[in-house]
Amino acid sequence: MHWIDGIIVLLYLIGTALIPIALAHRQKKKRDFMLAGQTLHWFPLALADVAAGFSAISLIGAPGFVMAYDLRYAPSLFLGIPTLPIIYYYIVPHIYKLQLVSVYSYLETRFCYAFRYVGVALFIIAKLGYLAMAIYTPALALGAVTGLPIGLYIVVIGLLTATLTLIGGMEGVIWQDVVQYFVIVGGILGVVFFFCFSSGDTVSNYWRIAAAAGKTRMLDFSFNLEALSVWALFSSAMLMGIAGTCSDQSTVQRWSSAKSLGDAMKSTIGGYIFGMPIVLVLYFIGICLYGFCTHNPLPPEIAAEPDRVFPYFAAKYLPIGACGLLIAGVLAAGMSTISAVLHSLTSLFMVDVWEKLYPEAEKGSNYVHISRIATMVWGILAVLLAFYVMLLGNSIIEVSGIVNSFFSAPLGGVFILGMFTKRANTQGTLIGIVAGVATSVTCWALNKYKIFPINFVWFGVFALLATCFVGYVSSLLFQSSKKQEKELEA
């Protein structure tokens, strides 16, 4: 890596560090540290929503998917648009009025105490695995670009992000994400500029090469459950989009940090508008990358793993400056996701565990101090798990994916039953959860052992439908408790 690229990355890191340091003195109470004092405008919340959801896994994985397959994932960006009115007019107002710090406290209010902690446990399991990947992926990319040990980057990325998160609290996380959004955009635009003006060929020719290889295929209307069809993407975008939004701790915490309901609502639309172009450009980069690599053959070990192509390309072909911007973009994509997840894990620990053990803790002067310690503990644990990923390859990634498949959809189904129906009760919903998990396991087994191959996109859809249908029908067999009836009337 050239020294100019190093300076670009260093300037990014310094700029990112100054934000939480400048905001540290404002983190005095729970409301400040967890919800940024509920002073945030919709614009930073929208950009933070994009940056937090846009990890280094996405930045590297989207071009890699096009290299390996085609553009069939691209339509999902547009197929999710019908969910926006539901989220905007119903879910956001419904949740915002509750002023939740922990989204899973809703499950206790709506159903029972046990549901709250089942939700917390599943979220922690899923997010720790995701955190490990979110740290390891940019470390792997940066190691390929710079030649330095991956383990060094794992420690630096994980502990630096944890430190900045604990210093600035929620407000620091949001404003760091705003800066990181623009750094991500800058890194991506540097690559686009290279393909358009400096790569030695034209974008139209890259498209022709990719089209000839079938890489530009976008729409698959087949009814084959094994295919990544429009029907699979539409079902997932609609159902999992709604379920994932209302059950995600990070998202709900950002809504609760807004200074008004209007700002929380606008941030959902703004996030969609600001996020869509980035993903589309990444698919465009994937097409150009395929055409470029046709004329510039890859080493066999790189070509065999599509996710390694983009980092290899950046290290070997990007000019000075553009390479530094992309490295900063990869760091920004990773750090924005890591900080959001770390803060959400800390919030759950403090609200759902610490405050239950020490009921007066919220009023104590050391609440923020304990929250900061918890953030660092989560950060250290995530770093250790990232090393586990590095040592054992894809095993933890596969396990994390299975956990998400098995539990995220049923958990989302519980929130849908709670928010969209009045008849759903604790007993019926519990049966629905069992049905949802059983459906996930069945889909996985059918696919794993090639008994009846099913595309992984359907796993969550079928599990969610099973949870909602069985949960609602089963609820008809039980009478709601008086507590639940009072809560619904309220």
Q: Using one digit for the tens of pLDDT, what is the confidence trace for 430-482?
A: 999 999 989 988 988 888 888 888 888 888 899 999 999 999 999 999 876 65
| Residue 411 within any structural domain of the chain | no
Give buried/exposed letters for 416-429 (b at 16+ CB in 10 A, else e). bbbbbbeebbbbbb
What gap in Å lies between CA 159 and CA 382, rounded to an integer? Answer: 9
Which regions of 22-131 does DSSP assign to beta strands (E)? none
Query: Confidence band (pLDDT; 50, 70, 90) for 132?
Result: confident
| Residue 442 within any structural domain of the chain | no
| Residue 27 within any structural domain of the chain | yes
The answer to whether residue 7 scores a pLDDT higher than 50 is yes
What gap in Å lies between CA 327 and CA 350, rounded to an integer? Answer: 34
**Count of domains forming the chain:** 1
DSSP string, 338-358: HHHHHHHHHHHIIIIIIHHHS
| Residue 417 within any structural domain of the chain | no
What gap in Å lies between CA 368 and CA 361, rounded to an integer? Answer: 10
- The C-alpha angle 384, 388, 390, rounded to 5 degrees, equals 115
CB 428, CB 475: distance < 8 Å: yes
What gap in Å lies between CA 140 and CA 56, rounded to an integer? Answer: 10
Structure tokens at 36: 């940024």
What gap in Å lies between CA 18 and CA 430, rounded to an integer? Answer: 47
Name the strand (E) or helix (H) holding 415.
Answer: helix 395-420
CB 236, CB 244: distance < 8 Å: no
The answer to whether residue 487 scores a pLDDT higher than 70 is no
Neighbours of 363 (CB within 10 A): 9
Q: Using one digit for the tens of pLDDT, what is the confidence trace for 176-198?
A: 999 999 999 999 999 999 999 98
What gap in Å lies between CA 301 and CA 336, rounded to an integer? Answer: 30
CB 222, CB 229: distance < 8 Å: yes
Range of the domain at 276: 3-402
Instruction: Name the one residue in this structure whose structure tokens are 């992309």.
Output: 326
Average pLDDT over residues 244-271: 91
CATH number at residue 274: 1.20.1730.10
pLDDT of res. 396: 46
What gap in Å lies between CA 33 and CA 36, rounded to an integer? Answer: 6
CB 254, CB 174: distance < 8 Å: yes
DSSP string, 358-386: STTGGGSTTHHHHHHHHHHHHHHHHHHHH
| Residue 396 within any structural domain of the chain | yes
Q: Using one digit for the tens of pLDDT, what is the confidence trace for 344-371?
A: 999 999 999 898 888 887 776 788 999 9
CB 58, CB 279: distance < 8 Å: yes
CB 396, CB 160: distance < 8 Å: no
| Residue 374 within any structural domain of the chain | yes
| Residue 185 within any structural domain of the chain | yes
Beta-carbon contacts of residue 169 (< 8 Å; ≥ 6 apart): 20, 23, 26, 27, 32, 33, 34, 36, 343, 368, 371
What gap in Å lies between CA 451 and CA 444, rounded to an integer? Answer: 10
3 state DSSP class of 66: helix
Query: Confidence band (pLDDT; 50, 70, 90) for 486?
Result: low
Instruction: Name the one residue in this structure whose structure tokens are 């953030």.
Output: 375
The answer to whether residue 403 scores a pLDDT higher than 70 is no
| Residue 460 within any structural domain of the chain | no
What gap in Å lies between CA 444 and CA 450, rounded to an integer? Answer: 10
Question: Can you give the length of the chain in residues?
Answer: 490
Beta-carbon contacts of residue 326 (< 8 Å; ≥ 6 apart): 187, 188, 190, 191, 314, 318
428: left (phi over 0), alpha (psi -120 to 50) or beta: alpha
Structure tokens at 408: 């995220």
Q: Using one digit for the tens of pLDDT, what is the confidence trace for 139-166?
A: 888 888 788 888 999 999 999 999 999 9
Q: Report pTM.
A: 0.90
What gap in Å lies between CA 101 and CA 257, rounded to an integer? Answer: 9
What gap in Å lies between CA 171 and CA 251, rounded to an integer? Answer: 14
Q: Using one digit for the tens of pLDDT, what is the confidence trace for 12-46?
A: 999 999 999 999 988 888 888 999 888 999 999 99
Beta-carbon contacts of residue 275 (< 8 Å; ≥ 6 apart): 49, 50, 53, 54
